[in-house]
Amino acid sequence: MITFDASHAHLREEISAYQAKVDACHAALMNKSGKGNDYVGWVEWPHTYDKEEFARIKSCAKRMADMCDVFVVCGIGGSYLGARAAIEMMNGLFSKQKIEVLFIGNTFSSTYIAQMLDYLKDKEVCVNVISKSGTTTETSLAFRLLKQMMEEKYGKEDSAKRIVATTDKARGTLKKIADEEGYETFVIPDDIGGRFSVITPVGLLPIAVAGIDIDEMMTGLKQAYEDMATSDLKKNSAYAYAVSRRILQNMGKDAEMFVTYEPSMSMVAEWWKQLFGESEGKDGKGILPCSATFSTDLHSLGQFIQEGKKVLYETLVLVDQPMTDLTFPSATEDVDGMNYLAGKSIDWVNKMAAQGTLEAHEVTGNVPNLLITIPDMSAKTFGYMCYFFFRACAMTCYLLDINPFNQPGVEVYKKNMFRLLGKNES
Ligand code: PA5
């Protein structure tokens, strides 16, 4: 379902030279002997996921959708990005779905929080609070405000029916609150970290509420699992992508720009940035993940990519079939000089822009390009793509001898912030 092409980065033999290392890393991932092996639950998840819980997600999503016109997801990082990426990619940015899904708990901005609470005042609202640790400050702060708003609006008993908590099965403050208040709860598995959790209830419930077929998403996930069972670099495109990343960094490319031509995939880029940034950026190693949406950003970052310092390569994520297309009209008087496109599809124009840009960046600008092509923006493709990037991420980190599944560095800002906020940490 995904094709990977490294020819625009001029890599061929170099990739196959990594086969023995990839075999070893693949074995370590599959037999759980690699670094961070407590967090590899996502590897077998396409088969091991809890089918009863999955059915409950679907019925809860229906119950929520019947009750609200706005579904508010309260979470940050891995407890936020995947669901938003999925919903925007599959529904587009001007969705006609009855339920609007909004995100809070991912910022301390008083403007953002106050405006959203105000926006929710005259709406029918349901809430999904998501936190694996159950103690993340951004999420807890927003949830206290949301909970108060819901209780004032619906009363304690009815608001409890409108709030769902996704958290650890036993530990953490959120689990305690959920049990005390009688919220329906879903479990974030112990052995799946935040940035790998979009395939668990963390992502599945909001995605289902948004009207997306989560069965299809799991079908894509299963297919990817099967396609990636082999470590053969000629067959496993996720591993070929991982190896290409390593080779390009060894050539001095310390930044990777995730490029899409679909504005509705810009949150996929944010999700991808977290996945690779938090997994790989440690021990003084890693590639800086950044992103751009073309052709929009060709009018801003395009200049740097073309002629600036040669620090980066691009990973171009192309979509074969757009969600929808339209034909460019002819005008009797060609005042704007655009009649040369009359009768052409807009998607064709987008694809020609991509082809011309690839040539400009690769040939004239000497910027290597890795091409990842997905068939469409469907739920099945999203599931497949998640697993593709998970496998690529784990492989790229194991090749660097890094634990992909921890994020010790993110604690430093929290420590300083808590000191400044006067939090008692004893
Ligand atoms: O990838 C991660 O583990 C992090 O980004 C977490 O998802 C994020 O910090 C939110 O954590 P929690 O779900 O515990 O609130």
Dump pLDDT digits (tens) for 179-195.
999 999 999 999 999 99
Q: Which two tokens stand for residue 134?
A: 């159950």
pTM above 0.95, yes or no: yes
Q: Which two tokens stand for residue 243?
A: 């190896």
Looking at 47, 169, 344, 414, which residue is catalytic?
A: 414
The residue whose CA is least distant from atom 3 of ligand 1 is 194
**Exposure string over 174-197, b if 16+ CB within 10 A, otherwise e:** bbebbeeeebbbbbbbebbbbbbb
Q: How far is the CA of 131 from the centre of ligand 1 (A)?
A: 7
Q: Is the pLDDT of residue 426 over 80?
A: no
Query: Would you call 125 helix, strand, or coil by DSSP?
Result: strand
Contacts for 291 with CB less than 8 Å, ≥ 6 apart:
257, 258, 259, 260, 266, 269, 270, 272, 273
> Which is nearest to 357 in space by CA: 282, 275, 299?
299
**Exposure string over 335-371, b if 16+ CB within 10 A, otherwise e:** eeeeeebeeeeebeebbeebeebbeebbeebebbbbb
C-beta 266 within 6 A of ligand 1 = no
C-beta 132 within 6 A of ligand 1 = yes
Q: How far is the CA of 168 from the centre of ligand 1 (A)?
A: 12
What is the arithmetic mean of pLDDT over 396-422?
94
Q: How far is the CA of 234 from the centre of ligand 1 (A)?
A: 34
C-beta 79 within 6 A of ligand 1 = yes
424 or 229, higher pLDDT? 229
What is the arithmetic mean of pLDDT over 40-44?
98
C-beta 175 within 6 A of ligand 1 = no
C-beta 78 within 6 A of ligand 1 = yes
Determine how many CB atoms are found less than 10 A away from the CB of residue 125: 23
d(Cα 297, Cα 295) in Å, to the nearest integer? 6
Sheet of 184-187, strands arranged across: 100-104, 70-74, 125-131, 163-167, 184-187
Q: Which atom of ligand 1 is nearest to the CA of 77?
A: 5
Residue ranges of domains in the chain: 3-34+219-399, 42-212
CATH code: domain 42-212 is 3.40.50.10490
Topology agreement, domain 3-34+219-399 and domain 42-212: yes
d(Cα 12, Cα 16) in Å, to the nearest integer? 7
Q: For residue 10, indicate whether it is catalytic.
A: no
Question: Mean pLDDT across the chain, nearest whole number?
Answer: 97
Q: For residue 278, indicate whether it is catalytic.
A: yes
Parallel, antiparallel, or unpaired for β 312-319 and 369-374? parallel
Dump pLDDT digits (tens) for 169-227.
999 999 999 999 999 999 999 999 999 999 999 999 999 999 999 999 999 999 999 99
CATH architecture of 3-34+219-399: 3-Layer(aba) Sandwich (3.40)
Q: Which atom of ligand 1 is nearest to the CA of 410?
A: 9
C-beta 131 within 6 A of ligand 1 = yes
Per-residue pLDDT at 284 = 96
The residue whose CA is least distant from atom 12 of ligand 1 is 131
Dump pLDDT digits (tens) for 325-384.
999 999 999 999 999 999 999 999 999 999 999 999 999 999 999 999 999 999 999 999
Per-residue pLDDT at 94 = 95
Per-residue pLDDT at 12 = 79
Looking at 51, 96, 299, 309, which residue is catalytic?
A: 299
Q: Which two tokens stand for residue 211?
A: 């009207």
Contacts for 350 with CB less than 8 Å, ≥ 6 apart:
261, 295, 322
d(Cα 166, Cα 194) in Å, to the nearest integer? 12
* pLDDT classification of 424: cutoffs 50, 70, 90: confident
Query: Would you call 313 helix, strand, or coil by DSSP?
Result: strand
* pLDDT classification of 425: cutoffs 50, 70, 90: confident
> Which is nearest to 294 in space by CA: 256, 253, 266, 327?
266
What single-letter amino acid sits at 66?
Answer: D
C-beta 194 within 6 A of ligand 1 = yes
**Please, are residues 206 and 73 in contact by the beta-carbon 8 Å criterion?**
yes
Alpha-helical runs (H) found in 182-213 = 201-209
Q: How far is the CA of 135 from the centre of ligand 1 (A)?
A: 10
Share of the chain above pLDDT 90, in %: 96
d(Cα 275, Cα 199) in Å, to the nearest integer? 13
C-beta 166 within 6 A of ligand 1 = no
Looking at 138, 184, 278, 314, which residue is catalytic?
A: 278
